[in-house]
Amino acid sequence: MEILENEELGKHSTFKIGGPAKYYAIPSSVDEVKEAIEYAKDKNLPYLIIGKGSNILFHDRGYDGVVIEIGSKMQIIERIDDLNIRAEAGTSLSALSNYAANASLAGLEFAAGIPGTVGGGVTMNAGAYGGEIVDCIQSATVLDKDGNVRVLQVNELDLSYRSSIIQKEDYIVLDATFQLIPGDENDIRATMRDYNGRRRDKQPLEYASAGSTFKRPKDNFAGKLIEDAGLKGYSVGDAQVSEKHCGFVVNKGNATYSDVKAVIEHVQKVVKEQFDVELETEVKIV
Ligand SMILES: Cc1cc2nc3c(=O)[nH]c(=O)nc-3n(C[C@H](O)[C@H](O)[C@H](O)COP(=O)(O)OP(=O)(O)OC[C@H]3O[C@@H](n4cnc5c(N)ncnc54)[C@H](O)[C@@H]3O)c2cc1C
């Protein structure tokens, strides 16, 4: 497997921020994932698994270890029977939704516009427009810390709002199987178009970002609290609370890690002071 050196992480993050990873591996199989981990262990370095980097803020200093992308080289999707589809962890969620639509299978329409991978989606229990991974996943194959490949059923994945056993146990998602329901391709595609249209209307897709920066606090919305706190458009350098959707911190051009971090911390402080609500980041800060 080719392992790149000093690979700029900004190229692998939808925020377009991040310095070089000392090593960057793109495995194409389970064996190569294991090989990349061994490589890190041999060099006494930490490793970090990423998918499409659509929920990560990398540091400008980069990552002094091995970044392992389970993405572009692990994208096989297969229909395993009438209602079940299995996808390798690097498959994009939009490709998975499209595959299901082509097969006239409903249940994954919500994922059509989420710019991550199946692996990242399972890890984050990604969701939108009333749907979540937990609603349609049947099982996932994972690699545990001892190097064992295990199949976890949906109840064992411990999926809840933006949380999963994958995060708690540092499992690595290798593939996932989804159980869908028969549907009409035209209806499925109409729903996908509707959701994507709503995204374009509401979200600042013209700027680099990592989607919603903060988790939804109990009985409230992060974007609303931030707007009510008067923070719409608040910026440090090129990092800004989006004027279109206050739940997004966007990179207007050359924002650095520190700019984004400063905006996040200011927002957290002001929202806490004004509303006594602790905003927790949804974005993973590396
Ligand atoms: C414009 C925009 C819109 C978005 N809209 C939504 C939305 O509607 N709903 C939503 O839920 N999210 C949304 N997101 C956030 C993001 O797309 C999701 O969290 C997505 O699931 C992350 O997938 P990824 O492959 O990019 O993961 P990454 O960002 O690469 O990683 C996210 C986390 O998962 C871990 N991880 C990734 N792959 C694996 C794997 N194979 N095994 C183990 N751990 C892994 C990483 O270590 C990291 O902790 C949006 C982001 C953007 C930029």
Q: Which atom of ligand 1 is nearest to the CA of 54?
A: 26
In tens, the pLDDT along 54-110 reads: 999 999 999 999 999 999 999 999 999 999 999 999 999 999 999 999 999 999 999
Pairing label, strands 56-57, 149-153: unpaired
CATH architecture of 204-285: Alpha-Beta Complex (3.90)
In tens, the pLDDT along 173-210 reads: 999 999 999 999 999 999 999 999 999 999 999 999 99
pLDDT at 202: 96
In angstroms, the CA 222 to CA 286 distance is 22
Q: Which of 7, 92, 162, 242 is catalytic?
A: 162
> Is 120 touching ligand 1 by the criterion CB < 6 Å?
yes
Does residue 283 carry a pLDDT above 90? yes
Instruction: Give, in words, the CATH class of 3-69.
Output: alpha beta
Shared fold status for 3-69 and 77-188: no
> Has 282 been annotated as catalytic?
yes
> Is 255 touching ligand 1 by the criterion CB < 6 Å?
no
Element (H, E) at 127: strand 127-128
In tens, the pLDDT along 215-245 reads: 999 999 999 999 999 999 999 999 999 999 9
Considering only the C-alpha atoms of the chain, give the largest distance between any 2 of them, rounded to a whole number of Å: 54
The count of C-alpha atoms lying within 13 angstroms of the C-alpha of 108, restricted to the half-sphere facing its C-beta, is 32
Long-range contacts of 147-153 (CB under 8 A, 24+ apart): 147/34, 147/37, 149/30, 149/174
Does residue 1 carry a pLDDT above 90? no
Domain boundaries, the chain: 3-69, 77-188, 204-285
> Has 162 been annotated as catalytic?
yes
Nearest to 107 by CA among 199, 197, 190, 188: 188
| CATH 3.30.465.10 assigned to 77-188 | yes
